[in-house]
C-alpha cells in the first residue's frame, strides 16, 4: 500500500493577510507524479512555498516527509529541505562556480565531508540527467535547458523522498521543455515522488498525469479533457 509523503487537511494558505487557497485537502502518495496548474496568481507558487516552508501554514493540518508544517520551527527548515528536492524556474545556480562546485556547495552545506563520496554522488546525479560530461563547465557556458538539468541533478543529491518543481520549464522553449520533463518523468519512473507546478498545458498533453487545478481560491482534481 502506498504511503503518503504529503498530506494537507482543511488547510488555508495566506500571503500576508490575504487568503490564497482555502480548505485545501490533498494527499500525495509515494511514487506519484502530480501537476498543479492554474492561472498566474491562482496559488500554485504559494502552495509550493508552503510545502517547502517558505510560507508558514497557520490554519489547518499539514505533514510533508514526516515534518509537521504547522508546528515547524525555523531551525527545522534546513532539515526539511534535505528530505525534499526543489527545482525552480530560474535554476538558481551559483554563477561564479563550476557545475561540480555548485554540487559540492550543496553537499557540504548538508553535512557531507568525504570528498570521494561527494565526487561519486555528483557523478551519479549528473549522469542521471545526461550532464556527466559537463561538471567542469560554468553555468554561463551551458544552455538554459542544460542548466535546468543540472538543477534537477542538484535536487537529487540527498536522495529526497519528494521533488517540488515550481514552473521548471517556464524559461525554456517548447522542445527543451519537453526534454526536461522527460528527465523528470524518468526520475519519477525510478520511484521519486514529484509535484510540478506549471502553466504549460502542452506538456500535460504530451506527458499526461494526475492534475490538480488552482482556481477561485480552491484546488481540485481535473481530468485532462476538461483543462
What CATH code is carried by the domain that includes residue 21? 3.40.50.300
Domain of residue 116 covers: 4-226
Helical residues (DSSP H) of 5-114, grouped into ranges: 44-51, 77-83, 99-109
Q: Report which of 124, 195, 185 is spatially closest to residue 157, judged by C-alpha positions.
A: 124
Find residue 9's DSSP bridge partners. Answer: 61
- What pLDDT is stored for residue 53 in this prediction? 94
Q: Distance between CA atoms of 176 and 167, rounded to whole angstroms?
A: 14
Q: b/e string for 120-142 if b means 16 or more Cβ within 10 A? A: ebbeebbebbebeebbebbbeeb
Nearest 5 degrees, angle CA 101-CA 177-CA 46?
A: 80
Check if the beta carbon of residue 197 is closer than 8 Å to that of residue 48. yes
pLDDT value for 98? 97
Which pLDDT belongs to residue 224? 67
pLDDT along the chain (227 residues), means of 10: 83 93 96 95 94 94 94 91 92 95 94 96 96 96 95 95 94 93 95 94 92 96 74
Q: What is the model's pLDDT at position 223?
A: 82
Task: Give this prediction's pTM.
Answer: 0.92
What's the pLDDT score for residue 48? 95
> Do residues 69 and 50 make contact, with C-beta atoms less than 8 angstroms apart?
yes
Q: How many domains does the chain have?
A: 1
User: What does the pLDDT read at residue 42?
Assistant: 93
Amino acid at each position: 500500500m502506498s504511503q503518503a509523503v504529503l498530506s494537507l487537511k482543511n488547510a488555508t494558505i495566506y500571503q500576508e493577510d490575504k487568503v490564497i487557497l482555502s480548505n485545501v485537502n490533498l494527499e500525495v502518495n509515494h511514487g506519484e507524479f502530480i501537476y498543479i496548474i492554474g492561472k498566474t496568481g491562482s496559488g500554485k507558487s504559494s502552495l509550493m512555498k508552503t510545502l517547502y516552508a517558505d510560507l508558514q501554514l497557520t490554519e489547518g493540518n499539514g505533514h510533508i516527509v514526516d515534518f509537521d508544517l504547522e508546528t515547524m520551527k525555523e531551525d527545522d527548515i534546513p532539515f526539511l529541505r534535505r528530505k525534499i528536492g526543489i527545482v525552480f524556474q530560474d535554476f538558481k545556480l551559483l554563477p561564479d562556480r563550476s557545475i561540480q562546485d555548485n554540487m559540492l556547495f550543496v553537499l557540504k552545506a548538508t553535512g557531507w565531508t568525504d570528498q570521494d563520496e561527494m565526487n561519486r554522488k555528483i557523478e551519479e546525479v549528473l549522469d542521471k540527467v545526461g550532464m556527466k560530461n559537463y561538471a567542469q563547465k560554468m553555468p554561463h557556458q551551458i544552455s538554459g535547458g542544460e542548466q535546468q538539468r543540472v538543477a534537477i541533478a542538484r535536487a537529487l543529491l540527498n536522495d529526497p523522498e519528494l521533488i517540488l518543481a515550481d514552473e521548471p520549464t517556464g524559461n525554456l522553449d517548447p522542445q527543451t521543455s519537453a526534454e526536461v520533463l522527460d528527465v523528470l518523468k524518468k526520475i519519477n519512473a525510478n520511484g521519486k515522488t514529484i509535484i510540478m507546478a506549471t502553466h504549460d498545458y502542452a506538456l500535460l498533453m504530451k506527458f499526461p498525469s494526475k492534475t490538480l487545478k488552482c482556481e477561485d481560491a480552491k484546488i481540485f482534481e481535473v481530468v485532462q479533457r476538461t483543462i
